[in-house]
Structure 1
Amino acid sequence: MIETDVLVIGAGPAGSAASKHAALGGANVILIDKKSEIGTPKRCAEGIYDHGLKWLNIEANPQWAVQRINGGTIIAPDMTRLTLDERVLPEKGYIIERKVFDKYMAMDAARAGAEVMVKTLAKTIKREKGEDFFSVTCQQMDESIDIKTKIIIAADGPESRIAKALGINSTTKPQDMISGVQYEMVGVNCERMDLIELHLGAFADGGYAWVFPKGDDIANVGIGVSSASKKPAIEYLDEFIKKYPPLNNAKAVELNVGGNPIGGLIGQIYDDNLLVCGDAAGQVDPVTGGGIILGMLGGMAAGKVAAKAIKDKDYSASRLKEYEVLYDEYTQGAIPKLAVARDVYLSLDDNDLNQIVNAFIGLDLKNMSLSDFVKVFFKLSPRLALKFRKLFKIIL
């Protein structure tokens, strides 16, 4: 029997962040992952932003930060392009090599003192009545091992199997899941390879398409569509690629598929001896489906709270409730607000999107205040203004 203070299940960015900060807080930590190679398979468009790295106290490393991004271009259904680059936005970011990034985050956890076990699958979790710890039986290679832990941090992805086994409803409703598919392509010829592109419209069936440059003529080209779509996501993506001129000569060298939860936080992200973070907790942007930074902030909060609970020798839900408070503080309550923004987006048709994008063309975006942006929406039409009313109430 191996004994530890904290067992983190899942070595994605959120799990590695949880392991790192729990170890830095003085806890004995074991991080396990069922895969033999951390970071595979890739299920991500691979974009991160500078402020997120700053919040996490992570410096960009050229080993994984492969392309500097100076902003983005929003493309309306009528192909009007609204570019928000370094002349307008102070925020910059990177396209990363996710397979390398995930390994580096796990290495950071190991350097902080966590023990990392790959090819290790949690099979069964038991807690006898009156006990203040879990007994976890794992399959490691061809060997069965038992781990005794005071706290489990579940970071095992969407619809967490671990959280569900421990009594938390982690099921994602079909309408709260988007189907994503992406090619890594070579031969891409976008107008600017230092800007991401977001393509909006009904062609994406409730989602959007993206082109995320990775350096030279390489880019991630993908689409996210409603899980209720009548066609497979890859058919929507192939149609988009055929119609978009900068991709006429592009060729796919990798295919990534997966589902992203966009319904916001699951109802409960902590319990006695248990914390849930990352995709498992629904710590994902409901608008874009992006979850690297939001998930890692969840991991950081979970790790810090777990370490404090170990020192206090109190692993009860009432002690671990601090995690929920700390995460809300780190993210400034962003996820519920973004969920409202997604509802607004889903209510817009192609004409609405064309109107909105065209309304901002030629404006001095750099010097516009938030109230100035709101005024633009109200000038469009009463019908559109009404759709945005609930969102404006939250952000103003």
Structure 2
Amino acid sequence: MNNIKEVDVLVIGAGPAGSIAAREASKNGAKTLIIDKKSEIGTPKRCAEGIMDGVLERVGITPDERWIARHIDGARIVSPNNTSAWFTSENLETPATGIILERKVFDKHVTMDAIRNGAEVMIKTEALSMKKENNYFLVDINGFNSEITQIKANIVIGADGPEGHVGTWAGIKTKVPANEMESGIQYEMTNLKMEKNDTIEFYFGSVAPGGYAWIFPKGYDSANVGIDISSVKSTESALEYLNNFVKNNPATKDGQIVEINTGGNPLCGVFDQIITDNFMLVGDAAGCINPITGGGIDTALESGMIAGRVAAKAIKENNYSTQILQEYSDYVEEHIGKKFRKYINIRDFLYNLEDDDLNDYIEALNKANITTLSTKSLLKAAIKISPRKLLKLRKLL
């Protein structure tokens, strides 16, 4: 006989999106459970760990130095011929500051915050399958040190990341076309010689076909060094491109690797469908990943927060239909989905540029009087360089 645990809301995945969804659902009165198949929340990291100042405060998280690896002052954009455009407090009127997280600590912090607000957590617990029965879901699980084999939930929130299966189990199409999927690999390295160890760096062009390489400082001589490439535009593996980048970059060529992370990164934007009866997708699992940068911590937290609140509202009203969950889907469309569709056009233009064009654009950015660092301000500066080439992107400004 199955041992069944009954909850109002089941969250599958204890990343930032899942944990903040659980926090909001629980503190608003829903009996909430998070399960995660990993033995340790926050590992392995699938992220360069950067986030802009102000994001955490907007979702009710107070920054804590225990999980801040580095405070960041702006960005450096590097062309194929090594021309650099710097955007720091020295030349920006509006600061572009942020932090590099220690995700292994930060993710646990968000999960612990959910627990303090009433949520329950089961780690090393894998969801094996899920089926709809009447007005609830039954989820088969394999849990560590637990006799529970099934979870009965009125609402399931899928937060199992970009390669998750929960959405498919719920009948939602989440398959990403090959041309929208990036291959990524990242080293955490030390003994680096960065020109500025408080500035994130982006490298574009043939060094990373259809993507970019990055250096995100985590200390005075340590950083996340990684690369995302398009599988349809590259001739070598992501590993080979990253190794070439590390070998030839003055900052990294003498560094040592202390951690390796790999994975795919979907850049298709928010999926057309992210809800169905009794079910919502959040964070990376919903496609809430910036199509230009591949970043997604901010949108993971934002989507998770709203999903948790809508789930709690649905529980109170004893109505788990698509109609009541539409409030969450509408929010994501308005605040994330619309913007990301514009970003896809920008990404396609940027990642199809030849090295010579990138050299010209980044040289011009270096000379431009840009006072605020944003996608919009960078595009405006680029349009002045080559109005004809960027004519299609003008309407996005």
Mapping 1:307-346, distance limit 5 Å: 307-331=312-336, 333-346=338-351
d(CA) in 2 for partners of 1:335 and 1:78? Answer: 29
Residue 45 (structure 1) aligns with: 48
Identity rate, percent: 45
Match of 1:211 in 2: 215
Q: Structure 2 residue aligned with 1:182, among 183, 186, 194?
A: 186
Match of 1:391 among 387, 390, 393: 393
Letter in 1 for 2:80: P
In structure 2, do the counterparts of structure 1 residues 215 and 37 end up closer, same or farther at CA, with 3 Å as the change threshold? same
Shift of 1:374: 5.8
Name 2:279's counterpart in structure 1.
Answer: 274
Q: What SS is found at the alignment partner of 2:306?
A: helix
Q: CA deviation at 1:346?
A: 2.0
- Measured in 1, the distance between the counterparts of 2:312 and 2:108 equals 23
User: Residues 359 and 157 from structure 1, CA distance in 2 versus in 1: closer, same or farther, beyond 3 angstroms?
Assistant: same
Q: 1:224 aligns with which of 223, 228, 244?
A: 228
Q: How many residues align?
A: 390
Give the alignment partner of residue 241 of structure 2, picking from 236, 239, 256. Answer: 236
- The worse-fitting range, judged by mean Cα deviation, of 368-377 and 222-231 is 368-377
**Paired residues of 1:69 and 1:194 also in contact (CA < 8 A):** yes
CA distance in 2, matches of 1:192, 1:260: 28
Residue 18 (1) aligns with residue 21 (2): yes
TM-score by length of 2: 0.94
Secondary structure in 1 matching 2:66: coil
Give unmatched runs, 5+ long, in structure 2.
none
Structure 1 residues 342, 124: closer, same or farther in 2, change over 3 A? same
Q: Call closer, same or farther: CA 1:304–1:387 in 2, change over 3 Å.
A: farther
Distance 2:243 2:9 in 1: 45
1:81 to 80, 84, 107: 84
In structure 2, the residue corresponding to 1:293 is in which secondary structure? helix
- 1:290 aligned to which of 279, 288, 295: 295
Q: Deviations over 1:1-59 (max 9, x none)?
A: 21111000000111111111111221110000011111111111111111321321222
In structure 1, distance between residues paired with 2:366 and 2:200: 18
Query: Can you give the 5+ residue segments of structure 1 that lack an aligned partner in the other structure?
Result: none
- CA contact under 8 A between 1:305 and 1:323: conserved in structure 2? yes
Alignment partner, residue 60 of structure 1: 63
2: CA distance, partners of 1:355 / 1:254: 35
Residues 199 and 217 of structure 2 are in contact (CA less than 8 Å); yes or no, is this contact kept in structure 1? yes
2:311 to 291, 299, 306: 306
**What's the CA shift for 1:344?**
1.5
Contact kept? 1:211, 1:220, Cα under 8 Å? yes
Is the 1:177–1:259 contact (alpha carbons within 8 Å) kept by the matching residues of 2?
yes
Q: 1:227 to 1:369 in 2, by over 3 A?
A: closer
* Segment of structure 1 superposing worse, 227-236 or 177-186: 227-236
Deviation at 1:311, TM superposition (A): 1.0
Compared CA separation, residues 301 and 391, structure 1 to 2 (3 A) = farther
1:147 positional shift: 1.3
CA shift, 1:313, in A, is 1.0
User: Quick one: structure 1 residues 278 and 361, their matched pair in 2 at CA, closer, same or farther if it must change by over 3 Å?
Assistant: same
1: CA distance, partners of 2:304 / 2:19 = 7
Match of 1:104 among 88, 109, 113: 109
Letter aligned with residue 314 of structure 2: A
Which digits, 9 at most, give the CA deviation of each residue in 1:335-388, with x for residues without a partner?
Answer: 21221221111221111111111112233322899998666434423xxx3443
TM superposition shift of 1:227: 2.2
For residues 111-130 of structure 1, the C-alpha deviation after alignment (integer angstroms, 9 at most, x for no partner) is 111101101111122223xx
Q: Deviations over 1:223-252 (max 9, x none)?
A: 111123331101101111111112222111
Q: Give 3-state SS (helix, strand or coil) of 2:8's partner.
A: strand
Q: Which amino acid aligns with 2:121?
A: V
Q: CA deviation at 1:390?
A: 3.0
Residue by residue over 1:63-105, the C-alpha shift from the partner in whole angstroms, topping out at 9 and shown as x without a partner, is 1111000101001111111000023142311111111111111
Inter-partner Cα distance in structure 1 for 2:304 and 2:380? 38
CA distance 1:105–1:374, shift in 2 (3 Å): closer
Match of 2:73 among 70, 86, 92: 70
Secondary structure, in 3 states, of the residue corresponding to 1:217? coil
Q: Residue type matched to 2:53 in 1? A: D
Q: Does 119-128 or 257-266 show the bigger shift?
A: 119-128
* Partner-residue secondary structure (3-state), 1:359: helix
TM-score normalised over the length of structure 1: 0.94
Q: Are 2:247 and 1:245 aligned?
A: no
Corresponding residue of 2:368: 363
Return closer, same or farther for 1:181/1:370 CA change in 2, 3 Å cut-off: closer
- CA contact under 8 A between 2:87 and 2:373: conserved in structure 1? no
Give me the whole-angstrom Cα distance separating, in 2, the residues matched to 1:372 and 1:6: 42
Matching residue of 1:158? 162
- 1:298 corresponds to which letter in structure 2? S
